[in-house]
Structure 1
Amino acid sequence: MSDDLSAALHDLAADHRTPPPVPGAEIRRRAVLRRRRRRTAVAGGALVTAAVAVTVTVGLLSGSDSRPDRTPAPVATQGHRKVVATLDLDRHRMTVDGRTLPVSAGSAQHPTPTGRMTVTAVHREKRMPAGDTGLGGEYDLKLPWVVELRTPEGRANYLVALTYDEKAPGTRDITRGWIGLRTDDARWLHDRLEPGDVIMVRAG
């Protein structure tokens, strides 16, 4: 009786056995593909995380006090702007729209370059390195109303408010090549100039 029951059960199992939908080799191939897709997804997620981290870092660094408050002009178009101001180094005077502004330029040891200077950026406030101020290695200055310039030789120069010596503009040349103005004049000029404008600097 027991042998008959066992045989019947075996026959029943054989009748209802479902063959695998695909061969074993195909199942292994699909398993390999799934593993590769998982590795690719993990790697892609790591790249996205790294890109987000870099973007956040750059954004934080760009929030410094030297960030321009007006967008720099494309280099290709800067040379086509007209002269909006002239500077006479010998007379310590800058003329803009009929208004004369007293200036303090570079000393004999650090003369202000002459020629066409192009405005490249305009800063509400900018930290100037101690080596550029001439006030000693430990003194970085944070100056307001800074206009960044490009000299004919392609170097950077600046129009700044001489907050540390308001009496120098118009009387004495005390900078290391910068063009210094009184604070009120520097603010007025800062609000008028745009990247791409040209200032003509002459000696006499």
Structure 2
Amino acid sequence: MRRAPRNRTVVGCTLLVIALGAGVTGCSSGGDRLSAEPYDAADRISFSGPSKGKKADPDLPLEVVAEDSDGRITDVTAVDAGGRHVGGELAADGSRWHSTSPLAADAAYTVRVSTEDEDGARGREVLTFTTGKPATKSSGAKSLGVTFGPGTGTYGVGQPLTAELSAPVHDPAQRAVVERGLKVSSTPAVDGAWHWVDDKSLHFRPKEYWPENATVRMRSNLEDIRIGDRLRGGKAEPLTLRTGDRVIAVVDVAAHQMTVHKSGEEIRTIAVTAGKPGFETRNGVKVVLAKERLVRMLSTSIGIAEGSSESYDMPVHFATRVTWSGEYVHAAPWSVGSQGYDNVSHGCVGMSTDDAEWFFDTFHQGDLVEVANSGGTTMEPFGNGFGDWNLTWAQWRAGSALAGDTGAAPAPEEQARLRPRPA
């Protein structure tokens, strides 16, 4: 760590006035303190960093204390050579600042301290130091890897982001460290948050759907950061993706109708059929997961025995998947007579082949299907696709480790990647 000499270089106002001549008021009470050059605050503060020539233990917090009883600290910033900022907290009276987030090992840091004396004059000190290996590093420590998803490319405005961890993180405090290190930025900017799906998975979504044609970037600042006694952050590849147009299908099950909107404009109305009693289509918001031009659908995949009056085994065209358990929007030429009038499917949304082909060509991964007025349950948030938007913003924020609670989220249902079910 480098520290400025502790020799004061304060020059009295009287001496300055004599040397510069009458009328100079730079040190008088009527002077402009804000335009004056900041004084050297080296002897006004103490710093907990290492002594000269030594390296800091990254597991120990930083602390800056105001040594002058008539002065105070007004601001402290600490950042490493890679641009990662260290979180900190400044006492209300300006007497002390301490770090609240961990340091990285083998990293160079710069700490900038701003102060103010009893007359309002501003001071400044810049401190530099490097960290070494943690002094209390446990044997067998693991490195926590992070894999961001869904991947590079262009997605619909409903696409949640994902972060998969290489090891489980249970402790709320450790979850907070991890979450602070997972950075998401977008252009245009949005208000968003991470939500812990389970001990190894996080999802990120904005408060509202993503803006159209946005650029979204994800990166991890966790490399070499201490997360727990036996866990430190590892390397992670950043990810950049884009959003496309705002494409949303609204399905009114009771009216047997789908209305498709693009960029806020209604572009098509389609007669549909949805789940009949006992096989009701799920209500709520669903995100397009994938598209299959031809898929074989089997009733046995949803527990219907062969030979039953409800059994089926058939090829289905232009199938747009919205749940992993087999709910699709697809062509259903066998039910054209019911489309627009009755619900006769086993849970999917069916339509004519021409409409299904148009839907298939128009919708892409991350686009949205909103279902209302069905007798079915609401789409589950996790475990069967992306039902993230079916949580209110308050519920979503409650799943963040930085939202003032434990950071724990309800365990998701086990993901069931069943074979598809037909309409």
Q: TM-score, normalised by structure 1?
A: 0.56
Counterpart code for 2:272: V
Q: Distance in 2 between matches of 1:123 and 1:75?
A: 21
For residues 52-71 of structure 1, the aligned pairs below 5 Å read none
Residue in structure 1 matching 2:346, options 165, 169, 176:
176
Q: Cα distance 1:110–1:197, how it changes in 2: closer, same or farther (>3 A)?
A: same
Conservation of the 8 A alpha-carbon contact between 1:157 and 1:177: yes
More helix by share: 1
Aligned to 2:252: 88
Conservation of the 8 A alpha-carbon contact between 1:119 and 1:197: yes
Conservation of the 8 A alpha-carbon contact between 1:148 and 1:156: yes
Residue 101, structure 1, aligned to residue 270, structure 2: yes
- Structure 2 residue runs of 5 or longer lacking an equivalent are 1-153, 163-203, 211-245, 375-423
- Structure 1 residue runs of 5 or longer lacking an equivalent are 1-70
Residue in structure 2 matching 1:203, options 370, 373, 378:
373
Aligned to 2:331: 161
Counterpart code for 2:330: V
Q: Cα distance 1:105–1:83, how it changes in 2: closer, same or farther (>3 A)?
A: same
Aligned to 1:116: 285
Residue 144, structure 1, aligned to residue 308, structure 2: no
Conservation of the 8 A alpha-carbon contact between 1:119 and 1:198: yes
Q: Distance in 1 between matches of 2:371 and 2:272?
A: 12
1:87-143 Cα shifts (integer Å, max 9, x gaps):
111100000132110110001111110000110001111111133699972631111
Aligned to 2:192: none
Conservation of the 8 A alpha-carbon contact between 1:133 and 1:175: no
Q: Cα distance 1:179–1:133, how it changes in 2: closer, same or farther (>3 A)?
A: farther
What is the aligned-residue identity percentage?
29
Q: Distance in 2 between matches of 1:133 and 1:186?
A: 23
* 3-state SS of paired residue (1:164): helix
For residues 35-74 of structure 1, the aligned pairs below 5 Å read none
Counterpart code for 1:178: C
Conservation of the 8 A alpha-carbon contact between 1:104 and 1:170: yes
- How many residue pairs were aligned? 131
Aligned to 1:191: 361
| Structure of larger gyration radius | 1
Q: Distance in 2 between matches of 1:85 and 1:149?
A: 12
1:66-99 Cα shifts (integer Å, max 9, x gaps):
xxxxx99976269555561111111000001321
Q: Cα distance 1:189–1:136, how it changes in 2: closer, same or farther (>3 A)?
A: farther
Counterpart code for 1:145: F
Q: Which moved more, 1:135-144 or 1:164-173?
A: 135-144
Q: TM-score, normalised by structure 2?
A: 0.28
Aligned to 2:161: 76
Conservation of the 8 A alpha-carbon contact between 1:105 and 1:175: yes
Q: Cα distance 1:102–1:190, how it changes in 2: closer, same or farther (>3 A)?
A: same
Aligned to 2:55: none
* 3-state SS of paired residue (1:184): helix
Counterpart code for 1:131: T
Q: Distance in 2 between matches of 1:137 and 1:163?
A: 23
